Structure 1
Amino acid sequence: MTLQISTDPADIDVDLVHRYLAHESYWCRGLPRAVLEKAIAHSLCFTALRDGHQVGFARVVSDRATFAYLCDVFVLEAARGQGVSKAMMRAIDAHPDLQGLRRMLLATADAHGLYAQHGFEPITRPERFMERYRPEVYSTSS
């Protein structure tokens, strides 16, 4: 079984990604497909393929010069524990458009150990960060 990490948008199974994010993820349940398509179009996406079938996904939103936000990372349950997330993180770390960034952020409820292996730490100065959080936004959009 070969694992490949691709950044080619043609390799994204949008149906699979939408199904996972909208129905299985804890962070964006109810995500409308049109919103996902727009997000994919404006992001650097990493697709994990095992023998040509998508088993994982990650999305990086970035200006590709100073800042990036890593989001929508998932591995299908049948492929977990097989190094897929680590391979995606290695590909993200090595991508030429993501070198020299001053800051990369992410949010996670349960994968702190994985991300710590790639240099992520709790926010150094949380008092400087603010957010506008609207968890209901997908239930009100069309």
Structure 2
Amino acid sequence: MTAGIPHGYTIDTDPQRIDVDLVHQWLSTDAYWALGRSRETVERSVAASVNFGAYDSTGAQCGYARVVTDLTTFAWLCDVYVDRAHRGRGLGQALAAAVRDHLAGRGLRRILLATGDAHDVYERVGFRPLPDPQKWMVLTQDS
């Protein structure tokens, strides 16, 4: 079930390598779930998350994912984004697998995510539809 990182790419969790300006550009202008998200919001979310950067052979960032977690019982995978020029090479799947592998062995009961269009990508690394969605509730707040 291990999804390899495509040849010529690396993925790591070094927060110093994350290009927050680039991540903000991607999310606020091209990610349907984050259109219009402010730079400050992106900066705060990066600072409070476990971040995964995907980098090409030159070291340029070409993908991003973050995990909101206590690293003990629960995690939420979100903001998975691959630069348009690098799509179709398996980087989204590799990012999801890197998150799965990074969190393995920590005793987390569940890692959740929400997607409107990439179910097959996440299913390839082990994600499944929520077995009892009627048990889950949401509290939304205007921001």
TM-score, with normalisation over the residues of structure 2?
A: 0.88
Answering whether residue 70 of structure 2 is matched by residue 56 of structure 1, we say no
Q: Which residue of 1 aligns with 2:15?
A: 9
- Tell me whether 1:65 sits opposite 2:72 in the alignment: yes
1:78 matched residue in structure 2: 85
Quote the residue 2:48 is aligned against.
Answer: 42
Q: SS of 2:116's equivalent? A: coil
3-state SS of paired residue (1:94): helix
Residue 91 (str. 1) matches residue 87 (str. 2): no
Length, aligned pairs only: 136
Conserved 8 A contact 1:58-1:71: yes
1:6, CA displacement in angstroms?
1.3
Instruction: Look up the equivalent residue of 1:61 and give its one-letter code.
Output: V
Q: Deviations over 1:19-40 (max 9, x none)?
A: 0111111001111111111111
Alignment-mate amino acid for residue 53 of structure 1: A
Letter in 1 for 2:117: D
Work out the percentage of aligned pairs sharing the same amino acid: 45
Partner of 1:129: 136
Aligned residues of 2:93 and 2:125 also touching (Cα < 8 A): no
Does structure 2 retain, via aligned residues, the 8 Å contact 1:21–1:29?
yes
> What amino acid maps onto 1:39 in structure 2?
S
Consecutive unaligned residues of structure 1, counting only runs of 5 or more, are 138-142
The question of 1:20 aligning with 2:26 is answered: yes
Residue type of the alignment partner of 1:116:
E
- Cα RMSD, aligned residues only: 1.6
Q: 1:93 to 1:63 in 2, by over 3 A?
A: same
Return 5+ residue gaps in structure 2 as ranges.
1-6
Q: What amino acid sits opposite 1:20 in the alignment? A: W
Aligned equivalents of 2:103 and 2:81: distance in 1?
22
